[in-house]
Structure formats: structure tokens, C-alpha cells
Structure 1
Amino acid sequence: MSDLTVDVVDAKGKKAGKAELPEALFDAQTNIPLIHQVVVAQLAAARQGTHDTKTRGEVRGGGIKPWRQKGTGRARHGSRRSPIWTGGGTVHGPTPRDYSQRTPKKMIAAALRGALSDRAREGQVFVISEIVAGDKPSTKAALAALTAVAGDVSKVLVVLDRFEDVAWLSLRNAADVHALAVDQLNTYDVLANDKIVFTSAALAAFVAGPASGKSAKAVATSSEADAEEAVVKAAPAAKAPAAKEEAPAKLKAAPKAEQEKAAEAAPAKLAEVSDEADAEPVDGVYRGEKPPAGYDIKGNEDSGKYHTPDSPWYGRTIAEVWFNSTEAAEAAGFVAAVAPKSEEDDK
């Protein structure tokens, strides 16, 4: 099969050329069950779904038992808001829910192609160059143009491009005409109307398909472009003083940086001096990692205790100070971690 060809008519009803309806869009197979499924899903998604009824637990009142359980001769009841009472709750009533159904995009597109193909095979697809000639909106002129193109306009769907402002304004008061943007064309609206009228711009946009995200490019209006140019011109003037102010700031910051470096270096030098001083034993006390011969008593400054080689914790103790005798350790203010046996026996 070849593409369908229809006449293009202008706003005055005169022939202005021909337009081709692609076979893939307007001569596809019409799958009735598929169209039915898509339309049902579309109408279901349009439902508001805010309906709600109150159960016996939500109805006001009914907290007290109407009468006692036995002795009255009447049926037993526990609440006046039971579903069998007037004014009671509703059983299995509607609650808020979402009616939308998941319909694959390919199914939606196939249903739309089938509906358009059915209208095209019946000769109910028309193309008009423009709805209204000129820049002045006119509902009367728009209806006259549609009548000249499609005849009876009691149930007609007009597909417009979003940039055709005059056509939108002209058709907004037409009660029997349903105007729709080309990117909102759907199966239900095609089936709900007997005739489909495309403008030349809308047909070209529909055949071209939706624009991909990668190729889409935003176009600024003239006012936005002027505003952007003003911002660009003002930017260098605003940055120039800042550049001048940064130079003195760096000069002032230089002495502070040198002072901080000197302060950091001072403790390191003091530590080196102290390490050198601690390298030699003083009064039986040695501070260092490798004690000389005879300095085998470990001292821990945090606990203030010393450990002799026969102490049970000697091997697990990390020595911070070494002593050559217990007298030197006690003279430095340390106490024995393990009391002598004589003292333990006295206790």
C-alpha cells in the first residue's frame, strides 16, 4: 500500500495543495480489543477515586449498648451504629482508591494508529492550512472554515499545534468543536468524534513524532535574551573590584601563615632538645626506648606505679620511664605495683 493523499484546504474553503498521510500512521491494522483495552484504561485513569463511606467504627455515636442483653424480649444489640440499624455504618462501601491501570506505551500508540486508520479509511480525516486567516481571532470565521472543509461540524475533533494562538482563541467558544493539542491526541477523543481535522502545522508535528530529550533545545524570547546580555555585561564590572581586594588580603595573610609555621616548628625543636636531654640517665631515671644496662624496672607515669622483673604484669607493661633501683623509682614519686610479700602476710 502507498500513503494516503488528501487535499489541503485554506480558511476560505479553497484547495491549497495536497498532504500525504503516512501509511504507518493512517493505514495500520485496527485491533478492536486493543483499542477497547486502551480506552477503558484511559477512562479509568480519569476517575477521581475520592469516594468514601463510613464504617460502623467511623460513624459518630453508638458507644453504648442500646438495652441489656437478656430480659427485654427484644433482639440483642451492642451498638446503634451497626450496619443493620438506620444511620449505622456501611458494609463493604467504596473507599478512596486509584483506578489507573498500567498500559504499555507501545499499546497506546498502536491503538491510536488503529483509530486514526479507521477514520482515514472512511474519508473522515481532513487537513486545513489555517483555521483563521490573519492575526485576529474569530469564532465565526473558524466555524465557517471547518464547515467548508468537513461539512457538518457537530462532532469534529480539531488537532492544533501549540503555537497556533489565533486558532486556539477562535475555537474556545465553539461548543460542538473539540480542540486538542497535537501532543495530546489520544484514542478516546478520536473515537468520540466522527471527523478529524488537522492543521498543516499539527499534521507535520504529528508525523515527525515527539522530540527526543537529547535534541530538544530551549529558545529564549527576545526579552530573555536582552536580560541575559545585561547580566553578561554587568559581570566583568562586578568581578573587577573583587580582584583588586584579593591582592591586599593575600599580603596581609602572608605574615600570619609564617607565624603559624614558626609556632608549629617550635614544639618540634623543643621535643628534639628534650629527647637529646633524656638520652642520658639522671639520678637512676632513664626516659627512652632503649634503656642502658641495669635499668630494668619499668615505670608507668599514668598510673604512677613501677614494675620489677618479678611482677606478674611486667611483660604486659609498656615502660615510659626506666629505673635502676626501687629507691630511684620511689624517689621519683612512683609506688610498687605489687606489694612486698611481707606486707601481704601482715594483711
Structure 2
Amino acid sequence: MPTLKVRTQIGAEAGSVELAEEVFGIEPNVPVMHQVVTAQLAARRAGTQSTKTRAEVRGGGAKPWKQKGTGRARQGSIRAPQWKGGGVALGPKPRTYAQRTPKKMIRLALRSALSDRAADGKVIVVDEWAFEVPRTREAADALRALGLDGRVLVVLGDTDRDVLAAKSFRNLPHVQVIEARELNAYDVLANDYVVFTRATLPGGDG
């Protein structure tokens, strides 16, 4: 198993932890990651776009002119698609964009994403967060002490300390805070670094 140094909030070493090989040491499956991320982004779409068909547009009940003898093309309704203000032919209707994704594929995508970040040395483990009160300045200082620049995903639990940490990090524009139970491949790939605590490390030895 790969071993990773554990750091404190101020950047000092606080021991080490073994990363689970089956979570952080597999060969990333790029096609699976792509499919899962695509499905996740598709599920975010509202799907509320809608146009009216000729049956739904107001008016147009009378035939605009008689069928023959006018020299003009025959018309049955002023709400036909070729008329201004008429219905839309084959227009979008409300729908869901959600895709069915097997749970095994979702788990494999997450392990692949974490393995990719671990291979690049961008998985960080902090012993625990030690915020006494929510303070964004201390959160920014902690990231500098850990040597993190770019986008950072901070994975937290549900303890009181984690709640204080979430409130401290949430105002930093380059930091995303997520609960460990909500960890997913897209958010891992969308950030440069992933920061765990000993308690939230997947498959860790604590």
C-alpha cells in the first residue's frame, strides 16, 4: 500500500497513513470516468424547456380564407407552424436527461479519480481540523501551510470540528467543501487537490 504523510493544520508532520490500494492505487479507467461524469452532468440539467404546438397556441380556430379562388396558398389555421405566432413543429418539451448508471460503475469511477489524484501526489491527509470558531482567514492560512494552490476539494465528516471547518472554508472561491458520504468522481476531477482528514479518508487505517 502507498504511504502518505499526515499533516497538521499548520503544515507540520503528524505521522503517516497507508492508502488503500483498492481505492488509491488502481489503474484509472478513463472511459468509465467519462461516462459517469457525463451522466452526472446530464442529471443536473433542469429539462424545463418547452414550446407550444399548434394545438396549444391560442386562436386560429377559423380558416383564414376560403380554400379556392383567392390565388393564395391554401391555409387551415393562422396557428400552423409556418405562421408568425404559430405553434412550433418538433420543438422541445419538458424531459429528464438522467441516465441510469450502475452503482459498480459509479464506485469504479470514484476509485479511478482518486487513484489519478494520488498518482500525481495531489491527495492530502490532515490529522484533523482545529478551528475553534469559523474563520476564513485561518482556513486560507491552513491551505498555504499545506502548500496547496489551485482548486481544492475539502472532504469533511459530520463532527463539530468539521462543521467549523466547513464554515471556515466555504467563503474561499477556490475551495469546494463536500461531506465524505457525497464524494463523487466529478468533484474529485474538477479540483486540483483533494484534502481528507484521517476520519474521512476512504479505506484508511484511521
Indicate the TM-score class for this superposition, using the shorter chain for normalisation.
over 0.9
Spell out, residue by residue over 1:189-215, the C-alpha distance to the aligned partner (whole angstroms, 9 max, x if none).
111111111122211xx327xxxxxxx
* 2:195 pairs with 1:197: yes
d(CA) in 2 for partners of 1:26, 1:89:
55
d(CA) in 2 for partners of 1:150, 1:195:
11
Larger Rg over CA atoms: 1
d(CA) in 2 for partners of 1:101, 1:177:
28
Report the CA distance between 1:146 and its aligned residue: 1.6
Please give the TM-score of this superposition, normalised by the length of structure 1. 0.56
Spell out, residue by residue over 1:60-114, the C-alpha distance to the aligned partner (whole angstroms, 9 max, x if none).
1111111111111111111111101111111111111121111111111011101
Give structure 2 stretches of 5+ with no counterpart: none
Match in the other structure for 1:143: 140
Report 1 or 2 for greater relative contact order, CA contacts < 8 Å, sequence distance ≥ 6. 2
- What is the number of residues matched between the two proteins? 202
Conserved 8 A contact 1:128-1:149: no
> Which runs of at least 4 in structure 1 moved beyond 3 Å after TM superposition?
none
d(CA) in 2 for partners of 1:134, 1:35:
35
Secondary structure of residue in 2 paired with 1:82: coil
Match in the other structure for 1:74: 72
d(CA) in 2 for partners of 1:143, 1:134:
12
Please give the TM-score of this superposition, normalised by the length of structure 2. 0.93
Conserved 8 A contact 2:10-2:146: no
Report the CA distance between 1:147 and its aligned residue: 2.0
Q: Are the structure 2 counterparts of residues 134 and 179 from structure 1 closer, same or farther at C-alpha, using a change threshold of 3 Å?
A: closer
Match in the other structure for 1:166: 164
Secondary structure of residue in 1 paired with 2:146: helix
Q: Identity rate of aligned residues, in percent?
A: 54
Match in the other structure for 1:123: 121
Counterpart residue type for residue 182 of structure 1: A
Q: Are the structure 2 counterparts of residues 49 and 134 from structure 1 closer, same or farther at C-alpha, using a change threshold of 3 Å?
A: closer
Spell out, residue by residue over 1:91-143, the C-alpha distance to the aligned partner (whole angstroms, 9 max, x if none).
11111112111111111101110111011001111111233x34211111111
Report the CA distance between 1:145 and its aligned residue: 0.7
Give structure 1 stretches of 5+ with no counterpart: 209-347
Spell out, residue by residue over 1:161-218, the C-alpha distance to the aligned partner (whole angstroms, 9 max, x if none).
1221111111121111001100000011111111111122211xx327xxxxxxxxxx
Match in the other structure for 1:15: 13
d(CA) in 2 for partners of 1:83, 1:139:
56
